[in-house]
Structure 1
Amino acid sequence: MRVTAPDHAVQQHIAARLERLPMSRWHISVRLIIGVVTFFEAFDQLLIAFSLPDITREWGLSTAGATTALTVGSIGMLLGALASGWLADRVGRVRMIMLCLVITALGNLGMALSPAFLPFLILRFVQGLAIGGEVPIAASYIAELSRAKRRGRFVLMYEVVFPAGLTVGSLMSAWIVPNWGWRALFLLAAVPGLAAFFLQRRVPESPRWLASRGRNAEALEVMEQIEGNVRRSTGQDLPEPAPVPSAVGAESTSTSSVRDLFTGRYRRRTLVVWTIWFVGYLANYGLTSWLPTLYKQVFHLPTGTALWYSTSASMAGLAGCILAALTIDRLGRRKVLAIGLGGTTVAMGFLAVLGANSAGQLALFSAFAAMFSFAANISLYLYTPELYPTRSRALGCSLGGVLNRLGIITGPILVAVVYAGGTELTPVFLLIGAITLVGTIVAAAFAEETKGRTLEELSP
């Protein structure tokens, strides 16, 4: 079907056709394919924390060297998030996801073969560019395929693959590193790069994005392909499109810029969501990235035991993500964010009062903290795309990812400075708890509720 209409009319037409689509096997298959990519990006992100004790021993790293190994990838992720959103708003969501996957796989292969620490750091930085780029773009893409009704569950059940990747990565690390060494772990992580070819053939470009770029004919062609796939999946005819509510002041421009994120209604949204991104990930990675090392240095556990203790946080985090996915359409985005950050604050408070006198006590309360913080953090991958228009959605998500990475970089460094190789952990927990308390207040008081509203209704 060919439609000749102004850009904004075509965008509304595409949105109406997407909103009428029932959930089908096609939606699940696309979500699964993108989910596999995100799963392995998460898997790759956490490998450095679990391989760090062995890398430190092999290359004789100091505390500063170990901190550099933890943070250099995060710096790459920060820059990757900064650039990828701008690129994805111009060249497409799917193309950028595929490129990020290939770079990540090649980085793993190179790190597995690294003869020294310096080339390892360089490759980890390059790989970080790809990991930081893929995750926010994928979040934008999945949000653009979803309907307003139960969008929270649809998007977050996809996003659960990220903590699942963290969990599987931690479990496999705890098994592989003590038996075959850290290089075998990175070699295994290089294999999923082959999925790039499958991705290119099976996943269509976002019709919302194509329409926002004025590529109307392509948008309509992709939309017809999607509708055909849904008809075959459901075995039923599709209902007629209903008008989609549009925000006041809708525009047809196809360009995006950082200025978009600080104009009108978007200024408050951006400041609030950036604060939550930074606080949530600072707290999460400030604690979890150092857990294997703390179990070894403070409680003198063997490497294998320390890694297994550390998996409790990842597994609890996965449980928190599933709970968020199942409740966010009922409770709303604001409540889930506030409860997640508030629960993290409470868990850190208990650890500060009790002093973490045993490895089991640390494992228990760090698991509770991870459950709540993961629930809040995963919700941001749903919430952020809802706050911005299609023309700058990937940019908004990627800049949220920049604050995410700033938190990931800052968290381990703050913990290293406060802990400084000693045995007193109470200041660490007080610091993290105070930071998440700020995030709790911001989420509860200032976050705008978005549940049940179409993307076009939320943003012009």
Structure 2
Amino acid sequence: MSKEQQALAPAEMLDELPMRPRQWLIVVLCLGILALDGYDVLSISFATPGMTAEWGLSKAALGVILPLELLGIAFGSIGLGPLADNDGRRRITLASLVVVTVGMLVAGLAPNVFILGAARVLTGVGVGGMLATATVTASGFCNAKNRAMAVVLVAGGYSLGIYLGATFLSPLLQAFDWRITFYLGAAMSALFFPLVYFFVPETVSFLSERRPEGALQEVQRIFRTLGHEEPASLGEKRAVHTEVISPLSLFKPGIAFVSTILILAYFGNIATYYYFVKWLPALTTEIGYTESQSAEILGMISLGGVVGSIGVSLASRAMSIKPLMIVVLLLSGLGVASFPLFTGSFAEMSVVGFGTGLCIFGAISGFFGLWAISFPPRLLGAGSGLVLGIGRGGAVLGPFIPGLLFTAGYSFQTVAIIMSLGSLIAGVIVIFLPRWSEVKEDLVAA
């Protein structure tokens, strides 16, 4: 390590140092944590037929149960994000894994729909906490060169969780009843607790800025574990870092504009996404395809999502994440809007579904990279948590609005165009998003 690097604060040193295998391991574990979110979304869908048969649930009852975890995710993201910035990302991640494990286990043991509903909300709270901390943690252990790529790759764990969940659950449900979906979720989240406990330390940026007792010794231990020469000090501490972080911190002068753009853009894109994946199986079945074919199309969309998440991650190394996101958001909207034009052929529908999934999942992953360059490190947990929490409101509206439109007599093509506007508008407003470095001086001065 050069003398110039030794003079930097620890977090700035990590920005310049090459990444070691232990840092990449942390990135992989954070990716796995995000995969639990994708599995959680998928699990309730796979459990629905068995739940309906066992408890005689109506469509109205299912309409209440299916989005309950989204309500919990909103509470968890908004509430636990600021706690992560104040009390530590590692602590909140571990607590969230415990909550998810308990929630999944209770859902599997639930004797009735009311207990199941409460368990789904509880699981969502834990997932929301993991969403608010996983990418922040990955970002904190990456150097500047690899940060955007790693964060987007971690966010791609969501689509990977959906794809792997579908792959493993299909044969399991032939041997067991619907409760296996939740037992498997509980086992996976329980498995991640010791992995995170032993291999994912607190972020260096948090220790350097909050400075709990023994912070320097802990930072030095982390550097030794990572394989880097340890820093001699924590660097200069700024008074601005002593404030208690809350959601209101994101709407102070200098950062409010960034927060507003990211909330609106993520909300719009997630609404388009949930329309596409929730309604597509029913719509394709309605126009004459079998349930098996509809499931294949959804599988192609998920596979496209895995490719898209990886592709956006790799592309972010060659170009800035902002223009990349503008492109994939606009292509997502165009794919959703044009999809009904290709439903006459299963092969064409598969290709368009794969391409649209590639873009729309890639965009969802890319938002995590946008947050990493748009929010200052001390607000990253609160910022990503708030955007995720409010954005998941789009997840509820995404399936809800098309129901009203179809009931009013609008065609598949018309509804597709209307619902594509979420991604299209998101792509336009991201054009006006400034980087954190462009507003840094205003915020510090405020």
Give TM class, smaller chain. Answer: 0.7 to 0.9
The secondary structure found in structure 2 opposite 1:429 is helix
Listed one character per residue, the Cα deviations across residues 281-322 of structure 1 (whole Å, up to 9, x for unaligned) are 1111121123344444553624x5543332111110111111
The structure 1 residue matched to 2:9, chosen from 7, 13, 18, is 13
The secondary structure found in structure 1 opposite 2:19 is coil
Residue 257 of structure 2: aligned partner = 268
Contact 2:148 2:372 in 1 (8 A): no
In 2, distance between residues paired with 1:145 and 1:11? Answer: 19
Listed one character per residue, the Cα deviations across residues 120-146 of structure 1 (whole Å, up to 9, x for unaligned) are 111111111111221121111211222
Residue 343 of structure 1: aligned partner = 331
Q: Does 1:330 align with 2:318?
A: yes
Contact 1:273 1:400 in 2 (8 A): yes
In 1, distance between residues paired with 2:231 and 2:7? Answer: 19
Q: Does 1:70 align with 2:57?
A: no
The structure 1 residue matched to 2:398, chosen from 408, 411, 430, is 411
Structure 2 unaligned blocks of 5 or more? 1-5
In 1, distance between residues paired with 2:441 and 2:199? Answer: 30
The structure 2 residue matched to 1:206, chosen from 181, 200, 203, is 203
In 1, distance between residues paired with 2:295 and 2:357? Answer: 16
Contact 1:45 1:131 in 2 (8 A): no
The structure 1 residue matched to 2:365, chosen from 356, 359, 378, is 378
In 2, distance between residues paired with 1:238 and 1:213? Answer: 19
In 2, distance between residues paired with 1:219 and 1:12? Answer: 16
In 2, distance between residues paired with 1:250 and 1:329? Answer: 34
In 2, distance between residues paired with 1:403 and 1:428? Answer: 23
Listed one character per residue, the Cα deviations across residues 216-269 of structure 1 (whole Å, up to 9, x for unaligned) are x5332222122212337xxxx68999x99x9xx983434213332122321211
One-letter amino acid matched to 1:194? L
Listed one character per residue, the Cα deviations across residues 402-443 of structure 1 (whole Å, up to 9, x for unaligned) are 122111111111233223499942233112222222112112
The secondary structure found in structure 2 opposite 1:182 is coil
Residue 3 of structure 2: aligned partner = none
Q: Does 1:154 align with 2:143?
A: no
Q: Does 1:447 align with 2:433?
A: yes
Q: Does 1:164 align with 2:183?
A: no
Number of paired residues?
A: 437
Residue 191 of structure 2: aligned partner = 194
Contact 2:80 2:385 in 1 (8 A): yes
Q: Does 1:288 align with 2:277?
A: yes
The structure 2 residue matched to 1:124, chosen from 120, 123, 137, is 120
Residue 30 of structure 1: aligned partner = 26
The structure 1 residue matched to 2:39, chosen from 37, 43, 59, is 43
One-letter amino acid matched to 2:207? L
In 2, distance between residues paired with 1:125 and 1:231? Answer: 41
Contact 1:207 1:219 in 2 (8 A): no
Residues 22/16 of structure 1: CA separation in 2 closer, same or farther (3 Å cut): same
In 2, distance between residues paired with 1:51 and 1:162? Answer: 19
Structure 1 unaligned blocks of 5 or more? 1-9
The secondary structure found in structure 2 opposite 1:265 is coil
The secondary structure found in structure 1 opposite 2:211 is coil
The secondary structure found in structure 2 opposite 1:251 is helix
Q: 1:278: Cα distance to partner?
A: 0.3
Residue 311 of structure 1: aligned partner = 299
One-letter amino acid matched to 2:264? T
In 2, distance between residues paired with 1:390 and 1:98? Answer: 20
In 2, distance between residues paired with 1:65 and 1:146? Answer: 45
In 2, distance between residues paired with 1:430 and 1:220? Answer: 55
In 1, distance between residues paired with 2:66 and 2:374? Answer: 31
Q: 1:344: Cα distance to partner?
A: 1.2
In 2, distance between residues paired with 1:133 and 1:329? Answer: 28
In 2, distance between residues paired with 1:218 and 1:376? Answer: 40
Listed one character per residue, the Cα deviations across residues 147-192 of structure 1 (whole Å, up to 9, x for unaligned) are 2223111222333222211211122233333553322222222112
Contact 1:272 1:443 in 2 (8 A): yes
Identity of aligned residues (%): 21
Contact 2:11 2:208 in 1 (8 A): no
Residue 267 of structure 2: aligned partner = 278
The secondary structure found in structure 2 opposite 1:290 is helix
Residues 297/60 of structure 1: CA separation in 2 closer, same or farther (3 Å cut): farther
Contact 1:299 1:359 in 2 (8 A): no
Residues 454/271 of structure 1: CA separation in 2 closer, same or farther (3 Å cut): closer
Residues 32/295 of structure 1: CA separation in 2 closer, same or farther (3 Å cut): same
In 1, distance between residues paired with 2:307 and 2:227? Answer: 34
Contact 2:342 2:352 in 1 (8 A): no
Q: 1:274: Cα distance to partner?
A: 0.7
One-letter amino acid matched to 1:314? S
Residue 425 of structure 2: aligned partner = 438
In 1, distance between residues paired with 2:243 and 2:417? Answer: 46
One-letter amino acid matched to 2:306? L
The alignment yields a C-alpha RMSD, in angstroms, of 3.2
Compute the TM-score of the two structures, normalised by the length of structure 1: 0.85
In 1, distance between residues paired with 2:141 and 2:443? Answer: 16
Compute the TM-score of the two structures, normalised by the length of structure 2: 0.88
Residues 433/454 of structure 1: CA separation in 2 closer, same or farther (3 Å cut): closer
Q: Does 1:106 align with 2:102?
A: yes
Residues 107/362 of structure 1: CA separation in 2 closer, same or farther (3 Å cut): farther
Q: 1:335: Cα distance to partner?
A: 1.2
Contact 1:67 1:412 in 2 (8 A): no
Residue 429 of structure 1: aligned partner = 416
In 2, distance between residues paired with 1:238 and 1:19? Answer: 14
Residue 136 of structure 2: aligned partner = 140
In 2, distance between residues paired with 1:55 and 1:422? Answer: 31
Listed one character per residue, the Cα deviations across residues 11-63 of structure 1 (whole Å, up to 9, x for unaligned) are 96222332233111110122222332222232122212333344334433333
In 1, distance between residues paired with 2:281 and 2:46? Answer: 7
One-letter amino acid matched to 2:85? D
Please identify, of 113-122 and 48-57, the stretch whose mean Cα deviation from structure 2 is larger.
48-57
In 2, distance between residues paired with 1:90 and 1:218? Answer: 17
